[in-house]
Amino acid sequence: MLQDSFGREINYLRLAVTDRCNLRCFYCMPECGIDFVKQAQLLSYEEMLRLVKVGVSMGINKVRITGGEPFVRRDLVPFLKRLSDINGLDSLNITTNGTLTEGHVEELKRLGISINLSWDTLDRDKFHQITRRDELETVNLCFEKLMTHGVPTKINMVVINGQNDDDIVPMAMLAKHNPVEVRFLEEMPFNGGDSVEHSPWSYQRILEKLEDALGALSHSESNPGQTADVYRIDGWKGSLGIIASHSRTFCGSCNRLRITPQGQIRTCLYSPKNHNLRDFMRSGASDVELEKYIQKAINSKAKNGHEAEAQAALFTDSMATIGG
């Protein structure tokens, strides 16, 4: 079992396969993009496969593939197939913006992969304003196909003050007739530039907005490591979730380990970068040495996100470089 110095079991790996994305969401990166990593600096699929196998041997049983946009990277689906064949890996998931996903839905279903769909508005003009791309119809079609094929799906909406806060209720309504969890996230300061001001849309305010429109929500019991407070409404097929991603109320049960596209371990979204698995592997490290290296990184995990933030410098990272 993999544990940090606070006795928390670490069983969930978020693995970023690329820092590239075909959208330019302003809360994630500048309109001109970022200085993308050269191919040779990225972890190869073989290196990532090795890391996952080592992680599973240490107690990791859930992997989420992130980016950037994962489907931007060539040959992603064959890699997913190889991951799905690893004994001991109980859950394989992928976070995607849905613009390149539709053609792979049937294979994702066959592999037993669940989806987190990043989707911030149902309005075409707002979608273009937020993402700087006119791709809403593509996302709509992807969502319809996910529902048709019964792929387990969660929707992640970042609530942005003055941009899409009036979309909270329309997005929530997707859960009335579809078996999805629509989740509302506080905005975080990872836009590839200077830190953003803390959004007034805290998880409490989001909850108030939902209850004002939909009535009292029934709170579901949380599982250890769960980031979302989940709510249900009688008669609805799906559920609603609120993630206090900036307030960080869930840190006490954090079970996550992140690996960036370049192989850097991030024990918290807010933590500094200080362990590079890519360079360590390419220096000839054995699997046993890798296990010790990973455990050393886990031992440095902060008690919570606020403590990790105090250890870091000014936020200039894009979410795409961290892996979400």
**Residue 3: count of CB within 10 angstroms of its CB:** 17
| pLDDT for 195 beyond 70 | no
In a domain, 2, yes or no: no
In a domain, 143, yes or no: yes
**Residue 212: count of CB within 10 angstroms of its CB:** 9
Q: Can you list the positions of beta strands (E) in the chain?
A: 12-16, 62-66, 91-96, 114-118, 153-159, 180-186, 218-219, 228-232, 239-243, 256-259, 265-266
| pLDDT for 76 beyond 50 | yes
In a domain, 151, yes or no: yes
Percent of all residues in the chain with a pLDDT value above 70, rounded to a whole number: 87
| pLDDT for 67 beyond 90 | yes
CATH number for the domain that contains residue 184: 3.20.20.70
Q: How confident is the model at residue 226 (pLDDT cuts 50, 70, 90)?
A: confident
Q: How confident is the model at residue 96 (pLDDT cuts 50, 70, 90)?
A: very high
Name the nearest CA neighbour of 194 among 316, 309, 320. 316
Residue 59 corresponds to which amino acid? G
pLDDT computed for residue 240 by the predictor: 98
pLDDT computed for residue 191 by the predictor: 47
Mean pLDDT calculated for residue range 43-50: 98
In a domain, 81, yes or no: yes
* Residue with the larger pLDDT of the pair 116 and 25: 116
Mean pLDDT calculated for residue range 207-212: 97
Q: Considering its fold, how many domains does the chain have in total?
A: 1
Residue 285 corresponds to which amino acid? A
Of 10-14, 136-140, 241-245, 284-288, the least confident:
241-245
Strand partners for 243: 185, 228
Of 26-35, 65-74, 81-90, the least confident:
26-35
By the 8 A CB rule, do 117 and 23 touch?
no
Q: What tokens does 219 get?
A: 């709170």
**Residue 204: count of CB within 10 angstroms of its CB:** 11
Burial label, 297 (beta-carbon count in 10 A; 0-12, 13-18, 19+): buried
Range of the domain at 72: 12-322
In a domain, 3, yes or no: no
In a domain, 207, yes or no: yes
Q: Pairing between strand 265-266 and 256-259?
A: antiparallel
| pLDDT for 258 beyond 60 | yes
Q: How confident is the model at residue 97 (pLDDT cuts 50, 70, 90)?
A: very high
Name the nearest CA neighbour of 34 among 18, 17, 19, 48. 19
Residue 279 corresponds to which amino acid? D
In a domain, 4, yes or no: no
Rounded Cα distance between 137 and 72, Å, is 18
pLDDT computed for residue 117 by the predictor: 98
Q: What tokens does 261 get?
A: 């596209």
In a domain, 116, yes or no: yes
Rounded Cα distance between 67 and 157, Å, is 17
pLDDT computed for residue 273 by the predictor: 63
By the 8 A CB rule, do 183 and 250 touch?
no
Rounded Cα distance between 223 and 9, Å, is 13
What SS3 class is residue 157?
strand
Rounded Cα distance between 269 and 241, Å, is 20
pLDDT computed for residue 1 by the predictor: 84
| pLDDT for 29 beyond 80 | no
